[in-house]
Structure 1
């Protein structure tokens, strides 16, 4: 079904009170994925839906689930699984908003929070459980105060990642507890081979919807996509100047900066704060309370810059984000789509700039091949970069020292030891291997940095 501006939510066989709830949050017309999926879900069909980020996928499954729940309310009615904690909270919030008139009860089950408290909430049989696979599997193995054996709906949001292999053991534990008679809803930004195989193995008719309204491009037309070419050892100075240049043009626009590791994320955050660029960090090595606090400060515009790893690249909706910066070029091209999808959402415009070194050209070409768009060059004042290079380099070195003085590495080691134990490895042996590898890499990094410093001094004096 093609998008028709005259079609309203009431035309999708939604009840009047739900239509009013949509209007109360500013939604007048359904998006294409909502237009196609909501009627099929209400008819009882399994559904696989794929649409670009910011296309309204959450409400495409939340609205029909809440309507069906209203017709026959009981216990834990629907289970929604998602790969990240932050996305789980966001989905639960949307369910709570549209289900307010019927006093809908939701429960978020994610890692980093009190398991006992979560267990108490689950024992009260909330209508909707939203969780990450790891923590939910832990509850199913250790807690007998609730059951998922009577759920009517199973939703996998960001289904391609949930079924991509990383969560196989946890998903197996969860699926063993679910009833065979249920409605399956799988949503993602792209239809992958995994989802196609899933469609063939469900065993009954499945409605498949893929939004291709903007041709073959994987990113929205309202997004301006650029690259900023810079030497590897001066990349951080280019990042600082890029943010300053943008902020001089638009003080109100929020900025997200994506980087590859938790360590780099924390160091960048410390460095940028020290040079006067106020920001918060979001990554897996900080507590869940700190993660939620950082998100809230960013969402309510207390802080306008968020430095994050890919934990923030999927599903999260920040209407005020106008610029996404990739501090590193993603090694997996599909992750680029998810990152830049944090801006230019729901018809709004946005900009994405990727910092590219000469070593990243092939990665950039892979991304362009996937999205079928050629990135244009973004230029900033090189002389200004030269002026701040020394300050940025020194500040980043100090940020590394601060990180070493904190308990960051201790937390990381605790998490690694947990992972090794779950994989059946000897944590003491693995820790020793890591220590030896770290010493070797430290000597190598020292040589590279000395070489880069000497080269920069020679270049400046010529």
Structure 2
């Protein structure tokens, strides 16, 4: 009898979901609700605002998508729901989940992100899709430049990876969006990491929200084997190549994500890896969106086994096959570490994360261990094993840097930045001089609490 009670308690039916939606969940392999789904779906169905926080890979997207789809089925119209997310790739992934779960309903979705034709996107919005999934910058651009669609009748506003949205430099774009949506709506905030900003929002802005936070003492999943490797800073790349060779010799089809701190280094490293015979794809904010999506598709479909990425790929992306995450740098924010290593050991699977630690990173590692409430164990590499490849790696890196120079890497970013400053009525030379001065001041002061990649803004 106790077993039967537990089965009822752990079923989607007990949460108030309708039979057709439960059947659709089962058809895509979702048989039982996860903890965040079990706790958050009922209050959302009752009409409450909700703040949900749980480990990466715990089913947060379905926790808000399922009740929204059920509510939509009761009174279908467009535009019914708006989902805001910090990265383009995550927007496409969320759209896929809405599309699959809402298939019996004929749900229409629309993804609005930078890197695509605004006129075509405007036409899509004018057709009133049920669900709009967008990055803040591009949606704000549409709201400021177009009157062919309205967000004034939406029932749901979802902020996915809410901590990043609320703490990043998305503020002005979010203000434009919040002005366009009705005050009478359900607001749902979801993230893998809870922050003071979200706690303040609970107290001040939202209408008595239901708040659920996973009480797990460790911030990363139990199936994740977390390691560190001590490396001299000058030869870090040689140690990386040695690790890749070792892992691919052990298992040829091992799927690996390598996280780097900047777009420039991400691109350099991907060129260097290809020079050394490691087919790979790169993912960062300074390549065209169609190339970013193609890189992600190649990695997901196992056409390449290695994806080199900045923190633009650390948030929410569900790539079930990732077996190993390598942090080429120790993230300056422990929160970014949690999101990076969350790309592996998802949905109950095992996985490993190795962080490369130089003599300058010890304090950062202590900060990570304190945040995740667990100690990293050492992954030992003998120096003598790396010495034979030092010259080969140094030559490949030099060639990669030369190729990067030929590509005029960074020139487009600088041009776009100047254009944006002019549009805002600012003097580009003056603003860039201020920025340069501020960077010098920060370098003298030492590492900040948030890395370069984590503060970059997607449009």
Fold shared by both chains (TM-score > 0.5) = yes
Alignment of 1:51-450 (within 5 A): 51-202=54-205, 204-212=207-215, 215-421=216-422, 424-429=425-430
Instruction: Give the whole-Å Cα distance in 1 for the aligned partners of 2:398 and 2:6.
Output: 53
What's the counterpart of residue 445 of structure 1?
none
| CA spacing shift, 1:435–1:10, aligned 2, 3 Å | closer
Q: Cα offset for 1:167? A: 0.7
Shift of 1:423: 5.6
Which stretch shows the higher mean deviation, 337-346 or 4-13?
4-13
The 3 A distance-change label for structure 1 pair 125 and 431 is: same
Considering only aligned residues, what root-mean-square deviation do their CA atoms show, in Å? 2.0
Describe the SS at the equivalent of 1:324: strand
The offset of 1:153, in angstroms, is 0.2
Q: Which runs of 5+ in 2 are unaligned?
A: 440-459
- Deviation for aligned residue 1:422: 5.4
1:188-227 residue CA offsets vs partner (Å, 9 max, x unmatched): 1122111111111135321100111xx3211111111000
Offset, 1:6: 6.0
C-alpha distance in structure 1 between counterparts of 2:416 and 2:206, whole Å = 39
Contact 1:3–1:32 (8 Å) recurs in 2? no
- Structure 1 residues not aligned, in runs of 5+: 439-462
CA shift, 1:383, in A, is 2.1
Give CA-to-partner distance per residue, 1:386-426, whole Å, 9 cap, x none.
Answer: 11111101110110100010132322222332343356432
Kindly indicate whether the alpha-carbon contact (under 8 Å) linking 1:3 and 1:35 is maintained by their aligned counterparts in 2: no
Q: Distance in 2 between matches of 1:340 and 1:436?
A: 34
In the TM superposition, residue 431 of structure 1 has moved relative to its aligned partner by 6.1
**One of 32, 36, 40 as aligned partner of 1:37:** 40
**3-state SS in 2 of match to 1:354:** strand
Deviation, 1:380, is 2.5
Task: Assess if the C-alpha contact under 8 Å between 1:79 and 1:154 holds in 2.
Answer: yes
1:444 aligns with none
Q: Is the 8 A contact 1:229 1:355 kept in 2?
A: yes
What is the aligned length? 435
Classify the secondary structure of the residue corresponding to 1:121. helix
Deviations 1:133-176 (A, max 9, x none): 00000000001000000000000000111111411100101000
Distance 2:190 2:435 in 1: 38
1:367 shift after superposition: 0.6
The question of whether the paired residues in 1 share the 8 Å contact of 2:258 and 2:328 is answered with: yes
Query: Which protein has greater RCO, CA pairs closer than 8 Å, 6+ apart?
Result: 2
Q: CA, structure 1 residues 3+284, in 2 after alignment: closer, same or farther (shift >3 Å)?
A: farther
Residues in 1 aligned to 2:57 and 2:188: alpha-carbon distance in whole angstroms:
18
CA distance in 2: counterparts of 1:310 and 1:44, whole angstroms: 34
- Aligned residue number for residue 47 of structure 1: 50
- C-alpha displacement of 1:11: 2.0
Equivalent-residue separation in structure 2 for 1:253 and 1:103 (angstroms) = 37
Please give the TM-score of this superposition, normalised by the length of structure 2. Answer: 0.91
1:305 Cα offset (Å): 0.6
Please say if residues 187 and 206 of structure 2, whose CA atoms lie closer than 8 Å, have aligned partners that are also in contact.
Answer: no
